[in-house]
Structure 1
């Protein structure tokens, strides 16, 4: 069963709540910080680009350095060896690209005739047709609007004009400007100046990367001191796990792109496209650009294939190769390697590509996905940066509870049922009601108590919930078959549970194991018994809240699926004036449901007393969903109200009804009802 986030309910302190400020001081501070960060990224790009490249490259080189360290090479020697190997690979790729470009440029004159013929054909099929159509349209328009011919000029005027010839202009003297012969120093400066800036950037990148790899532990400790000194254990786990996942994601992405480049290069070589190694490397590099990178390389390779081949078969085969490889990798290989998604939404990937290319140019476009992925990891694991997860992640913006409440407010039962069917794939029906529907109704009850829900909205909530219950009536209340959990390679997947979380889970399991034996055997026997006994009848009474009747409707459905004969009466049926006329002599269990309640209200205590006086032989189960400490409330409510069982979920109410039924049907020995209810 998946854990769903708890709804952030608001206690109904007043009927009307003053509207919150739409734009306060905190929002202004956050906006100022965001503008400052963007300005720093833009104006300090010369400094930040090398540092960012060094950090991302350190994620790629760190696994190699760790392998060399495990071979007892030494930390410093392992780092320098890993960096040297990485630099060697980059230099080798650069040399291969330069060689391929030189060969391609040298061979282009051989394809000049084919290129000119293809360009002329393309021109005639596109622009040429448009020109001919425009000329025809212009001639037709001219014929439709032609003016009458003007009279010819007189010969005398022409001869008079020719009697005064124009004086001839002096001939222009040609001037030739020659530059002085450059010295060897000036020639070397002209040749090397374009390469000086990239070499400087590369040198800074590798120096910073070496420092990061050498000082990883110290940098981690400083980051913990700055951001997580109050929770050292949790922050350490988050940083180590996030760094490991990011490193593995980048390494696997590099390996996958290299494989795509090998396949593309091999395929183009078999097709006959010139310089296939160049296009394979280009496909591997441009695939870092989201969505459009691979198609840019495909367009260039296809254009070259069309230029060098007299026909169009080579171009068609080249385009088909790119499309097939990208389809297989994107739809089959990547989901198997990373899970269903890396965690980024498609919209955020496109927007991030535009943003980073505006900030840092072409380098920002290539680094947009890794940088956005780093921001998403921070948003997933740092509470103050949670908004990054909302903006960039592919997880739903609303929790299932909030989505249920929003659909109920909008009066859209179809989408609510669709969401429920999706969640029911890995949880039981009662678990869905407890984790989503009941908590969504609690949010609605909070808003009703605060006076922010109109009568029309309340009617839509009731109608949508009733339609949802009717739509889920065909589902059985049982746990679905569980499948083995596979480890996700997604960089933003959930972190492994920390030691404290694991210990808390173990303590919870052990406590539930200690309290279970008193009732588990009875529950198992009660489940297998026939539900035809008179004591198997359950009477449900909703509380006084506006939506307690909806919770009772849900409970009635679940009781029917577990073999109980149940019915509901309105809250007024148990009032002082009507309690004596309540027809419930054949009832064995009375369930009282309250979605929202504060303290130990007297009306609930007196309600239990009235039911006890009217039906002395029934067992009373009270269902309350409260935010306070469950154990304290359980003891206080049970001692104050006199009910046999206090439950905080529908599943606990069902278990209590089964145990009460089991205790009543036993003939060997009588169990105290308070033990039968699991208390």
Structure 2
């Protein structure tokens, strides 16, 4: 309305009038239905009496009497026998006249007793004026008018507050931003947008779900023949705004009414409440339950209704205000630990089964290379960092390495082998089958056993019929590694160097290889590297590396074409020699 040329005050006034008019119209319709229900209730008096008698008769019987007698005997045995009365104590005096004592003379009867007074002596006479009834205005105000006036005053206050908040919404927003701090405009703007989006989505989904719930509820009751189905449907939709107990309260009303008005007991049992789930607002289920209990304890039913929006606002504050980050961690539904951290923590706790479950869940929607890059390798880097800080014992490190190898063999290798079989399902030609196959590739650990384990995992992703991937032990010296490479002459040397430590030693190995074997192809995998990637690549290239990759997926994508090209060269060499 404001964009169409109307002023802000006029637009706000029209919106408020229309909104509260709609609410008032719905309320009037509901009150009319409830009035008709109240008028219809006395017609079912006999049915109510009959069903109460049925319930009373159902609670009678010899088996219930025996239960009652047994429970009564148990209670009496616990309490013990009642103490005997003391004969020395005088009984209390009764409110009897002294003439009741023995020997006292009886009073003579009154020969002319006064007639009893009637309740309305003057009204029974024809033409008599009705008695005057004294009306006190103050008790009337206290009992009837005061609650009505208080409710009207609260309603008017809410309307006025809504009007002024809508008129001055920009001013209130600017004051809130100034209160938090104008130095963090980006975070505050994002927090405001995020909070408004969450609450708007929550209210919209609540409206859609509750309206659908009420409509379906009314249709179901109408099919079952329950009177006033529209009224019960509206109350069901309205009561669903109260979390957890609203649905049960909505179902109890038509069930109670069906018990009252319908004959027998079979048809009321067919009234079943549908269970619908609300839209997620970014709050965990446990946190929402605890929040509902807290706000209900603090503000009563109003707090129970507002618990979900208030909790969503707290989650937004925790996400964008660093000092309140604990709120987002405690109340949010997003994972607070990254997947590789969870995997590593489970291995530290010696819970190999749950660690394998983490990998199994991730491998369902990702390739084997992605699992290694996003779960296995980051976990090995964490183990490497903890070992360098002397926080990880050698036994714990061995357990982590062994469990990781077992998990990879059980979870990743079957999927990788299936992919290789699908890729190699086409029959090989005679030229492909008659060559020096497979191609020899050396894997050189950059520094320690962690690099060696990563290379062993990487080597499992190659078809042994096409690539003979040989991993050199991390215990060998640099001179021994170079001597073995000179002796066996592999087509490719792949150096693995996991950060943060060991990169210097791995670059030294690369420099020695390039100095002694200038024609040797050298690929370097700095798997798990997240910082200073370009500068690190330049250092490796300056040290003599041909290619530098930061993920296993990227490394395998570079190694496979090289192997295929080298295999083609090996097939051509016998032909040229002949």
Question: Which of the five TM-score ranges fits, normalised by the shorter chain?
Answer: 0.7 to 0.9
Give the corresponding residue for 2:398.
459
Please tell me whether the aligned partners of residues 442 and 471 of structure 2 are also in contact (alpha carbons under 8 angstroms).
Answer: yes
Please tell me whether the aligned partners of residues 524 and 548 of structure 2 are also in contact (alpha carbons under 8 angstroms).
Answer: yes
Shift of 1:246: 2.6
User: Is 1:217 paired with 2:156?
Assistant: no
Please tell me whether the aligned partners of residues 574 and 582 of structure 1 are also in contact (alpha carbons under 8 angstroms).
Answer: no
Shift of 1:545: 3.4
User: Is 1:631 paired with 2:534?
Assistant: yes
Q: Which of 341, 347, 357 in structure 2 is aligned with 1:408?
A: 347
Give runs of aligned pairs for residues 297-316 of structure 1, distance below 5 A: 297-316=250-269
Q: Which of 15, 26, 41 in structure 2 is aligned with 1:108?
A: 41
451 and 115 in structure 1: CA distance in 2 versus 1, 3 angstrom threshold: farther
Give the corresponding residue for 2:65.
132
Shift of 1:211: 2.6
Shift of 1:400: 0.8
Give runs of aligned pairs for residues 48-87 of structure 1, distance below 5 A: 68-69=1-2, 71-87=4-20
Give runs of aligned pairs for residues 4-83 of structure 1, distance below 5 A: 68-69=1-2, 71-83=4-16
Which stretches in structure 1 are left out of the alignment for 5+ residues? 1-67, 151-162, 480-528, 668-679
Please tell me whether the aligned partners of residues 347 and 355 of structure 2 are also in contact (alpha carbons under 8 angstroms).
Answer: yes
139 and 261 in structure 1: CA distance in 2 versus 1, 3 angstrom threshold: closer
Give the corresponding residue for 2:290.
351
347 and 248 in structure 1: CA distance in 2 versus 1, 3 angstrom threshold: closer
442 and 140 in structure 1: CA distance in 2 versus 1, 3 angstrom threshold: closer
Please tell me whether the aligned partners of residues 536 and 661 of structure 1 are also in contact (alpha carbons under 8 angstroms).
Answer: yes
Q: Which of 298, 321, 333 in structure 2 is aligned with 1:394?
A: 333
User: Is 1:292 paired with 2:231?
Assistant: no
600 and 167 in structure 1: CA distance in 2 versus 1, 3 angstrom threshold: farther
Q: Which of 183, 193, 209 in structure 1 is aligned with 2:146?
A: 193
Give the corresponding residue for 2:219.
266
Give the corresponding residue for 1:473.
413
User: Is 1:607 paired with 2:503?
Assistant: no
- TM-score scaled by structure 1? 0.66
Cα distance per residue 1:20-51 (max 9 Å; x no partner)? xxxxxxxxxxxxxxxxxxxxxxxxxxxxxxxx
What SS does the corresponding residue of 1:182 show, helix, strand or coil? coil
Shift of 1:231: 4.7
Shift of 1:316: 1.6
What SS does the corresponding residue of 1:473 show, helix, strand or coil? helix
Cα distance per residue 1:131-179 (max 9 Å; x no partner)? 513344379889x9xx9xx9xxxxxxxxxxxx964989x9xxx9x9xx9
Q: Which of 453, 459, 466 in structure 2 is aligned with 1:550?
A: 453
What SS does the corresponding residue of 1:576 show, helix, strand or coil? helix
Cα distance per residue 1:314-338 (max 9 Å; x no partner)? 31222x2x23xx3xx43xxx6xxx5
Shift of 1:548: 2.4
Shift of 1:357: 0.5
Which stretches in structure 2 are left out of the alignment for 5+ residues? 85-99, 108-116, 120-131, 420-430, 570-578
635 and 432 in structure 1: CA distance in 2 versus 1, 3 angstrom threshold: same
- How many residue pairs match? The answer is 514
Shift of 1:358: 0.2
Cα distance per residue 1:76-105 (max 9 Å; x no partner)? 333222211221122223323333333333
Q: Which of 264, 285, 299 in structure 2 is aligned with 1:360?
A: 299
Cα distance per residue 1:611-630 (max 9 Å; x no partner)? 44665542122222445311
Q: Which of 219, 227, 232 in structure 2 is aligned with 1:279?
A: 232
Give the corresponding residue for 1:93.
26
Please tell me whether the aligned partners of residues 291 and 311 of structure 2 are also in contact (alpha carbons under 8 angstroms).
Answer: yes
Shift of 1:631: 1.0
Question: CA separation in 1, counterparts of 2:396 and 2:52?
Answer: 65
User: Is 1:619 paired with 2:552?
Assistant: no
Shift of 1:648: 1.8
Give the corresponding residue for 1:385.
324
Please tell me whether the aligned partners of residues 296 and 303 of structure 2 are also in contact (alpha carbons under 8 angstroms).
Answer: yes
Q: Which of 493, 500, 505 in structure 2 is aligned with 1:590?
A: 493
Shift of 1:126: 5.2
User: Is 1:568 paired with 2:471?
Assistant: yes
Shift of 1:286: 1.7
Question: CA separation in 2, counterparts of 1:567 and 1:381?
Answer: 50
141 and 211 in structure 1: CA distance in 2 versus 1, 3 angstrom threshold: closer
Please tell me whether the aligned partners of residues 411 and 463 of structure 1 are also in contact (alpha carbons under 8 angstroms).
Answer: no
Please tell me whether the aligned partners of residues 440 and 469 of structure 2 are also in contact (alpha carbons under 8 angstroms).
Answer: yes
Q: Of the two, which has the highest radius of gyration?
A: 2
Question: CA separation in 1, counterparts of 2:260 and 2:322?
Answer: 55
Question: CA separation in 2, counterparts of 1:363 and 1:303?
Answer: 26
433 and 130 in structure 1: CA distance in 2 versus 1, 3 angstrom threshold: farther
